[in-house]
Chains A and B, each alone.
Chain A
Amino acid sequence: MTQLPEKTDRKMGLVIDLDTCVGCHACVVSCKGWNTENYGAPLSDQNPYGADPSGTFLNRVHSYEVQPESGPAQLIHFPKSCLHCEDAPCVTVCPTGASYKRTEDGIVLVNEKDCIGCGLCAWACPYGARELDKAEGVMKKCTLCVDRIYNENLPEEDRVPACVRTCPSNARHFGDLGDPDSAVSQLVAERGGMDLMPEQGTKPVNKYLPPRPKDRLNEEIDILAPLLAPVVEEPKGFLGWLDKALEKL
């Protein structure tokens, strides 16, 4: 059903730390690897070894340059996947009921057997989280690895989304954002976790942790600095001669 649940028992989602993400794209690869052979249709590629390759991905990493008023520009890597919004516009626009938000954990899923591939949900999503698979003709999106997180056949440490499990810099965290005492909620509270495009009114469950303020080298120079002896001394001996000789040329 495309009516959104009034409330969900839990709000499972991701917390992505923009401070520690190194932009290695390992989450992109592990996501594609897991999801192309598990839940639903495979994630196809078109012309993968040709001149113009493209393909279906559920998670992509952008990189942004941010220029503060003073100081050097910062490079921020920015992984983006479905935010499992509380007020998910992709769900309500679906004409067939293929898109739905689960009451038990808030995960937004597509029932691929009902999807007609009209693409309206992808239009309704401001984040670009949904991609229509060219080969299968159905809409694909992040499932929060619904086939891992409750999978008792996997060792307990693997019962998290593939992207979270693989992240080498621990920039991705998974948990219940509806529970204020959960580790992810604590992290969001502590680090000032934020919503993407809050003005779109989607109420995303996934949160992003902003980069921590950078150290500034040039802000506090010791007032005695000019009186200190220079660290670099005039060269002596052969180097001193060479220096003078080159100077005279």
Chain B
Amino acid sequence: MHPAPSIIAFSTFSGLGLGLLFWLGIDSTAPTGWVAFAFFAIAYALAVGGLISSTFHLGRPERTIKAFTQWQTSWLSREAWCAVAALVTMGIYAFLLVFFDTQVAILGWIGAAFALATVYTTSMIYAQLKTVPRWNTALTSALFLSLSIAGGALLSGRVTIGLVLLLVAGGLQALWWKTGDTRFKESGTDLKTATGLGNIGEVRAFEPPHTGTNYLLNEMVYTVGRRHARKLRMIAFILMLVVPVFLLLLPYPHIFGLLALISHIAGVLVSRWLFFAEAEHVVGLYYGMR
């Protein structure tokens, strides 16, 4: 699948921002005043910035508002609703904390729940697709949620719980990669079922419909960089997990915590790039490709 930069940025940064909102929402001793302002400003910059960047890949961004109508069937529409619900609820919660030093815990809890729900709906946009076997698993949701909560913990300066969550997210990432490598084969879809010609003999794509490329190949049969996938996985894993864990175990949590966060974000960006670049859509079979 084509790794559109706008989608990679969106899912990474909005995941982080929503993760931070989650921690701010459930914090029984939430910051107030200007400290709260700084935290919420960061969270909103990440979450809203990410959501806005997601509209950049639309063919008709001026009609985005229509995406709120089909929540009954569409995960994308549900994501839009959850994001607005999370941002509005947490907005009121933040307003009271910053300007009135008042914490309305119930608002925080509701906002935190919507923040996680937004990340879950984002993950389901991918996990629902039977056409992309690598994504079509509940592990995808677990991975997105764990990365969001772990990143949020780092952002909010929670070292101990952050360490634990990083390890959980890293484990899920490794498991997702490992099981993902065989999922296409396990899906049972191959050129034989795609053409229905398997009972005659071995099927081979002989001639594509056209000599040039097309939307389908650009969007869903993106193969650039896959040969470096192993190396990139190592880089992603080291940056998102190994380096931050090492840095968090050092003293001076402020400076090393910041470095840990930057490393983690860089690692998640690489991992998210791979999430798309490595994902094979079944339509590639018709073109004799993966």
Contact = CB atoms under 8 A, between A and B. Distances in A.
Contacts of A18: 197
A125 interface: yes
Contacts of A65: 203-206
A123 B214 contact: no
A189 interface: no
B13 to A, nearest CB: 19
B189 A128 contact: no
B206 A198 contact: no
Query: Which among A2, A95, A123, A200 has the highest number of chain B CB atoms within 10 Å?
Result: A95
Contact of B67 (A60, A78, A118, A208): A118
Given A2-B73, A66-B203, A54 B189 contact: no
Nearest to B62: A116
Nearest to A117: B59
Nearest to A55: B214
A17 interface: no
A66 B59 contact: no
Contact of A62 (B1, B63, B193, B209): B209
B215 A131 contact: yes
Given A60-B209, A65-B204, A117-B58, A199 B196 contact: no
Interface residues of B, number: 59
A119 B60 CA distance: 11
B84 to A, nearest CB: 13
Contacts of B286: 62, 80, 127-128
Contacts of A54: 212-215
Query: Which among A115, A128, A138 has the highest number of chain B CB atoms within 10 Å?
Result: A128
Interface stretch (A69-77, A163-171, A176-184, A217-225): A69-77
A75 B203 CA distance: 10
B69 A96 contact: yes
A3 B73 contact: yes
B204 to A, nearest CB: 5
B209 A28 contact: yes
A156 interface: no
